[in-house]
């Protein structure tokens, strides 16, 4: 009997121990699960806070970008206006430079030979004087003199032709109205049937390239009747 009682006591004790162990194991498992859930909750909380912060930062960036376009647009418009003004100025300067170069080119083309032409005027004057002093063809008996006069005439004609080819024109204003731009009055003639201011004598023809005077024509001008002279004598040229 004693042995049976002892066995029952050991069995009951063993069952209690196993029960306690099982309860302790369950409690430990529950604690671990609770801790895991707490860890998971903490991770979710961190993730939510991180997402919230990123959302706030993104919202701030978007608000900053919304405020920036107005300022950026004004700056761009100002820059475009400045560049447009610079472009217009550059185009205007280029056009003015092109026109000035064209004028200079035209001036050079027209008047580049002015100094050379002035040197030839004395030759033309001498040829003219030689022809004025030469006898008429009918009065020449010597064939050599006739040929000489003919050669002078041909030379003078070729020189005048060369002048015309280079836009150099001869000013011979006999019978024309006096023009101080192209004529130089050397004296006045009172006893004449010409109107006052008319050129009645040409002492020396003038020359011009287009509208630029190379040398004014030296002339005598009809004076006003009654002794009043309305044309002043210019001896400065």
- What is the share, in percent, of the chain residues with pLDDT greater than 70? 65
Q: What is the pLDDT of residues 74-108, one digit of tens each?
A: 888 888 989 999 999 999 999 999 999 898 888 77
Q: What is the pLDDT of residues 156-201, one digit of tens each?
A: 999 999 998 888 999 999 999 999 999 999 999 887 788 889 999 9
- Please check whether residues 197 and 225 belong to one and the same domain: yes
- Please check whether residues 102 and 135 belong to one and the same domain: no
Task: Look up residue 137 and give its DSSP letter.
Answer: G
Task: Look up residue 112 and give its DSSP letter.
Answer: T
- Please check whether residues 46 and 63 belong to one and the same domain: yes
Which carries the bigger pLDDT value, residue 65 or residue 146? 146
**Does any domain span residue 20?**
no
Tell the burial category of 167 from Cβ atoms under 10 Å away from its Cβ (0-12, 13-18, 19+). Answer: middle
- Please check whether residues 125 and 102 belong to one and the same domain: no
Using pLDDT thresholds of 50, 70 and 90, give the confidence band for residue 65.
low
Q: What is the pLDDT of residues 116-126, one digit of tens each?
A: 888 899 999 99
Predicted confidence (pLDDT) at residue 42 exceeds the cutoff of 80: no
Using pLDDT thresholds of 50, 70 and 90, give the confidence band for residue 205.
very high
> For residue 221, what are the domain limits?
170-237
Using pLDDT thresholds of 50, 70 and 90, give the confidence band for residue 10.
very low
- Please check whether residues 210 and 192 belong to one and the same domain: yes
- Please check whether residues 140 and 179 belong to one and the same domain: no
Say what the pLDDT of residue 55 is.
61
Say what the pLDDT of residue 34 is.
52
**Does any domain span residue 176?**
yes
Predicted confidence (pLDDT) at residue 69 exceeds the cutoff of 60: yes
**Does any domain span residue 8?**
no
**Does any domain span residue 6?**
no
Residue 202 CB neighbour total at 10 angstroms: 19
- What is the share, in percent, of the chain residues with pLDDT greater than 90? 30
Q: Which of 151, 166, 181 is the endpoint of a domain? A: 166
- Please check whether residues 75 and 91 belong to one and the same domain: yes
CATH code at 188?
Answer: 2.30.22.10
Q: Which two tokens stand for residue 26?
A: 């369950």
Which carries the bigger pLDDT value, residue 29 or residue 132? 132
CA neighbor of 162 nearest in space, from 192, 127, 204, 136: 127
Work out the angle between the directed axes of helices 114-133 and 143-165 (0-180°, nearest 10): 150
**Does any domain span residue 25?**
no
Residues 6 or more apart from 168 whose CB is under 8 A from it? 113, 117, 207, 208, 209, 214
**Does any domain span residue 206?**
yes
Mean pLDDT score across all residues of the chain: 75
Using pLDDT thresholds of 50, 70 and 90, give the confidence band for residue 47.
low
Report how far residue 205's alpha carbon sits from residue 129's, in angstroms, rounded to the nearest whole number.
11
- Please check whether residues 180 and 232 belong to one and the same domain: yes
Residue 170 CB neighbour total at 10 angstroms: 15
Using pLDDT thresholds of 50, 70 and 90, give the confidence band for residue 57.
low
- Please check whether residues 70 and 88 belong to one and the same domain: yes
What total of structural domains would you count in the chain? 3
The answer to whether 220 touches 185, Cβ cutoff 8 Å, is yes
- Please check whether residues 50 and 82 belong to one and the same domain: yes
């Amino acid at each position: 009997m004693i042995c049976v009682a002892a066995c029952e006591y050991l069995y009951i004790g063993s069952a209690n121990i196993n029960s306690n162990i099982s309860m302790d194991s369950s409690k430990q498992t529950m604690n671990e699960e609770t801790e895991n859930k707490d860890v998971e909750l903490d991770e979710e909380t961190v993730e939510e806070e991180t997402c919230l912060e990123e959302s706030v930062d993104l919202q701030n960036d978007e608000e900053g970008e919304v405020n920036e376009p107005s300022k950026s647009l004004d700056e761009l418009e100002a820059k475009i206006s400045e560049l447009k003004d610079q472009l217009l100025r550059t185009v205007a300067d280029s056009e003015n430079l092109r026109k000035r170069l064209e004028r200079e080119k035209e001036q050079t083309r027209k008047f580049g030979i002015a100094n050379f032409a002035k040197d030839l005027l004395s030759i033309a004057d001498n040829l003219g004087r030689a022809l004025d002093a030469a006898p008429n063809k009918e009065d020449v008996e010597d064939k050599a003199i006739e040929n000489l006069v003919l050669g002078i005439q041909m030379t003078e004609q070729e020189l005048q032709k060369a002048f015309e080819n280079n836009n150099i024109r001869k000013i011979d204003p006999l019978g024309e109205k006096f023009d101080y731009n192209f004529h130089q009055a050397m004296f006045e003639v009172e006893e004449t049937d010409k109107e006052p201011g008319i050129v009645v004598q040409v002492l020396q023809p003038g020359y011009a390239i287009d509208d630029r005077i190379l040398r004014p024509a030296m002339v005598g001008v009809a004076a006003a009747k009654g002794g009043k002279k309305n044309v002043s004598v210019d001896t400065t040229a």
